[in-house]
Amino acid sequence: MTRRQCFALDLVDDPDLIAEYEAHHAAGRVWPEVTADIRATGIIGMEIWRTGNRLFMIMEVAKDYPRSSGSEPRDAAWQQLMWRFQKPLPHAAPGEKWVPMSRIYDLREQ
């Protein structure tokens, strides 16, 4: 059984930085240790979508998510690198990157 979680984040509104951010996330470009750490926490699937400088992340997570992963040191370095491109949403808590979203509509419930 999996669950879906959705998050939002903004990028610095600079076309060159956005292009560089996307290049870092191209297939095969995310550091392997980061990908392994993501999977170790119980994330089964993850997609990041963009419109303008707004990002939307969809995660499919295992029933026991989040699992302790041991926080790979390369993950911390990756997160630090990504802060160069990212900026928190105006309503984010201090230090919060990806802000959880709340589902407000589901066609299946109509």
Pairing of strands 54-62, 99-100: unpaired
Beta strand spans in the chain (E): 2-11, 43-51, 54-62, 86-87, 99-100
Task: Quote the CA–CA distance of 17 and 11 in Å, as a whole number.
Answer: 8
**pLDDT in 10s for each residue of the chain, 110 residues:** 889 999 999 999 999 999 999 999 999 999 999 999 999 999 999 999 999 999 999 999 999 999 987 767 888 899 999 999 999 999 999 989 999 999 999 999 99
* Contact by Cβ (8 Å): 88, 9: yes
β partners of residue 9: 55
Look at the domain 2-109 and name its fold: Alpha-Beta Plaits (3.30.70)
Report the amino acid identity of residue 87. K
Confidence at residue 72, expressed as pLDDT on a 0 to 100 scale? 75
Report the amino acid identity of residue 43. I
pTM higher than 0.75, yes or no? yes
Indicate the domain borders of the chain: 2-109
Pairing of strands 54-62, 2-11: antiparallel
